[in-house]
A and B are shown apart, each in its own frame.
Chain A
Amino acid sequence: MPAAVSVRGLVKRYGEVEAVRGVEFDVAQGETFGFLGPNGAGKSTTIGMLCTLVRPSAGSATVAGYDVVRDRDDVRRSIGLVFQDPTLDSYLTAEQNLRFHAELYGVPRSAVARRLDQVLELVGLSDRRHDEVRGFSGGMKRRLEIARGLLHAPVVLFLDEPTVGLDPQTRRSIWAYIKSLQQAERTTIFMTTHYMDEAEYCDRIAIIDQGRIVALDTPEALKASIGEDRVEIRTDDDLAAIAALEERFGLKASTHEGLVSFSVANGAEFVPRLFAGLQVPIRSVAVSRPSLDDVFLSYTGRTIREAESAAPNEWMRRMAQRGMRR
C-alpha cells in the first residue's frame, strides 16, 4: 500500500526564520500520526505545506499520491482540514455549513443527504443540525468542523491542535470521536498537539522541536527507549522490603511518603515475580510508565514547558503575524 503522506527534506523559511528544517517521514494509510511539539516548533507550518497552503522552500511531499506543489487541486480534494482557529459560518446552521462544504468539494448531489446524516451522527450532532452554529459550545463547534472535514470522504484528515482551548473533559470526548471515526472510516489522520497526554492517542508520533524531528516512533517505543518503569509498593515493613529487594533482585529502592519506590525495566512483568519473591507482605502496588514529558526531556534536553516559555508566546506571535500580513 502506498503511503498516505510521504515527506522528504521539507524546509520552510520565512526570511531569516527557518520554521521547518528538513523533516522526513511517511504516514501509512489508516494510521493516526501525531506531531508533538511546543508552540513555534513548526507544526502548523508543516501542515500548511502538506495542505498546499504554504509553499515549501525546499524538499517535496506527496499526499494521497499527489505532489503538494504540482497537483494542488488533487491534494485539496483528497484531504480534510480542521484548522487551529475556527472556520465555521456561525450564522448558518450546522447543516447549512455542511451543505456549503459538500458543494465546494463536489460531493455528488445524490450522496449528500446520506453523507450528512452519517457525519452528523458520527460527531453526535444530529439533533442540533438545524441550529445556528453561534449557539454551539467550543466542543460542539470543533466536532462540527471534524464532521465537515470528513464530509467529502478525504484520504487524509489533517487536524491542527484539534483540542486547543477546550476543557479537559471536552478534549477527552473529542478524542473519543476522533478514534471512533478513525475506526469507522479508516481515514488516515495527521494531527498536531502540544499536549503530551494527547499524543498517546496516536499510532506513531514525531516529536518536533525547532523545526526538526528529534524522535519518531510509537508512544510505547518512545517511552521504552528512555528507560525503566517506576514501581511503588506499600508494605508492612518498609526497611525489610528494601533490604529484600536489594538482596533478591539487586534493585535499589527508597522510601518516599510512606511508599517504597524503585525503577525496573518492565514493571508489569516484574510485579508477579515481586509477589512470589518478596517475603514481606505487600498491601498495594503501582506501576507507572515514563511519560512523554520524560521522552521530550531526554531528546531535547528541556521539558516541553521550558520550550514553550522560551518561544515567544502564542499571543505575541499572532499579533506580530497580523502586523506582517499587509
Chain B
Amino acid sequence: MSAEAVLDVDRADLAHPWPAPARRSRLAVSGRAIWVVLKREGIRFAADRLRVVTGLLQPILFLFVLGSGLGTLVKFGPHLNLRTFLYPGAAAMSVLFTALFSAGSVVWDREFGFLREMLVAPVSRTSLVVGKCLGGALVASTQGVLMIAIAGLANVPYDGVLMLTIFGELLLLALAVVSFGMLVAARIQQFQSFMAVTQMLVMPLFFLSGAMYPLSNLPAWMRVLTRIDPLTYAVDPIRRAVFEHLQVPPALRARLVPGISWDGWHVPLGLEIGVVAVMAALFMAIAALEFRKVD
C-alpha cells in the first residue's frame, strides 16, 4: 500500500497538515472537551438499550408491587391511592440508580484503559469531570422522562407545567448524584467495588429520604436523620409539585406533604432546591479536585 499517495501533505518542513490555529482560549478548549465527553456518554447510552430497561425495572416494581401491595393496608380515602404518593420517590429512585451507573462507567473506563486516553489529553481535568457529570446527568434524566411518561399509571395528571417541573428537579438530582458518584469513582479501581461502595452509601440515603413515607410524625431520631439526608431535599419538591396538581383534602395533604422543617422553621421550596444545587456543585468541585490527582 502506498501511504504517500494517500497523504498529499508535505511534512518535510514539519508544518502541520492544517494551518496552525491561533492559540485557542482555555475556555474554547475546555468547552470542546466538555462537549465531546458529554456526547460520548450519549452515544454509549443510546447503544445500550438493556440499561434503559433495567433502570426502569426497579422503580416500576417499587411503584406497582409495593404501591399496590401495601395499598391494601394503607387507605387514604377516595381521593388518593398509595401509588400516587410513592410516585415521586420512584421517579427519584430511577434517576438515582441510572446516575450512579453513569458515574460508575468511569471506573469501567479505567479498567479498560480508555480513561488514560482522556487523562493524557491536553485539556483540563475539570473539563473532563464536568463533561462526564453533565453527560451522566442528561442520560439519567432521560430515565426521568420515561418515568414522567408513565405518570398516568400512578394517577399523576399529565400537566405541562407539572411535567416540566418534575423533569427539572430530576435533572438537578441526577447532576448531584453523578457528581457524588464521580468523586467516589476517582479513588476506585474496580467496578464491583464501586457498586458495593455506592450501594452501601445510597441505600440508607434512599430509605431516609422520605421517598417511601411522609415526613410527619416520625420518631425523633428519624426526624433528625431525614433532615440530614440530602436526598430528602430532592424528593420533597417533587412531591410538593405532584400534590399541587391533585384534588386532595387539605388535612390529608398536610399530613402527607408536611414539607421539611428545621427545628420548627419551615424550609421554603427555593431553599430545598438550593440544598440540592449546592450539593451538586460541591460534589462536582471535589470530584474535579480528586481527578487532578489521578494518574
Contacts and interface: CB of A to CB of B under 8 A. Distances in A.
Interface string A94-107: 00100111011111
Contacts of B78: none
3 nearest interchain CB pairs? Answer: A103-B36, A184-B3, A180-B3
A83 interface: yes
B197 to A, nearest CB: 13
Given A100-B40, A104-B36, A87 B114 contact: yes
A264 interface: no
12 contacts: A51-B120, A88-B113, A89-B40, A89-B44, A91-B44, A91-B47, A96-B43, A103-B33, A118-B17, A121-B6, A153-B17, A183-B4
Interface string B231-265: 00000000000000000000000000000000000
A86 interface: yes
B41 to A, nearest CB: 11
Contacts of B122: 73-74, 76-77, 104-106
A119 to B, nearest CB: 9
A29 B15 CA distance: 12
Contact of A76 (B11, B32, B121, B295): B121
Given A104-B123, A111-B18, A153-B16, 14 more contacts: A74-B122, A76-B120, A76-B121, A87-B116, A89-B114, A100-B40, A100-B117, A103-B32, A106-B122, A121-B6, A122-B6, A122-B7, A181-B3, A322-B189
A214 interface: no
Interface residues on B, range: 35 or more
Contact of A115 (B17, B109, B120, B121): B17
Given A90-B112, A91-B44, A104 B6 contact: no
B266 interface: no
Contact of B43 (A85, A92, A187): A92
B21 A108 contact: yes
B29 interface: yes
Given A106-B32, A122-B6, A186 B11 contact: yes
Interface residues of A, number: 46
A220 B77 CA distance: 94
Contact of A184 (B7, B18, B24, B29): B7
B17 A111 contact: yes
Nearest to A75: B122
B141 to A, nearest CB: 21
Interface in B1-26: 1-4, 6-7, 9, 11-12, 14, 16-18, 21, 24
Nearest to A112: B18
A74 B24 CA distance: 12
B3 to A, nearest CB: 4
B292 interface: no
A89 B7 CA distance: 27
A53 interface: yes
A62 B236 CA distance: 57
B129 to A, nearest CB: 14
B35 interface: yes
A106 B29 contact: yes
Contacts of A304: none
B187 interface: yes
A325 interface: yes
A185 B117 contact: no
A54 B242 CA distance: 54
Contacts of A248: none
Interface string B91-121: 0000000000000000001001110111011
A267 to B, nearest CB: 34
Contacts of A118: 6-7, 9, 17
Nearest to A134: B112
A63 interface: no
A122 B40 contact: no
A122 B9 CA distance: 13
A165 to B, nearest CB: 14
Interface string A11-44: 0000000000000000001000000000000000
A77 B122 CA distance: 6
A106 B21 contact: yes
A232 B16 CA distance: 50
Contacts of B113: 83, 85-88
A50 interface: no
A111 to B, nearest CB: 4
A57 to B, nearest CB: 15
Nearest to B4: A184
A104 B121 contact: yes
Interface string A273-310: 00000000000000000000000000000000000000
Given A122-B3, A186-B11, A92 B40 contact: yes
A155 interface: yes
A199 B40 CA distance: 38
A123 B282 CA distance: 45
Given A100-B40, A103-B33, A53 B120 contact: yes
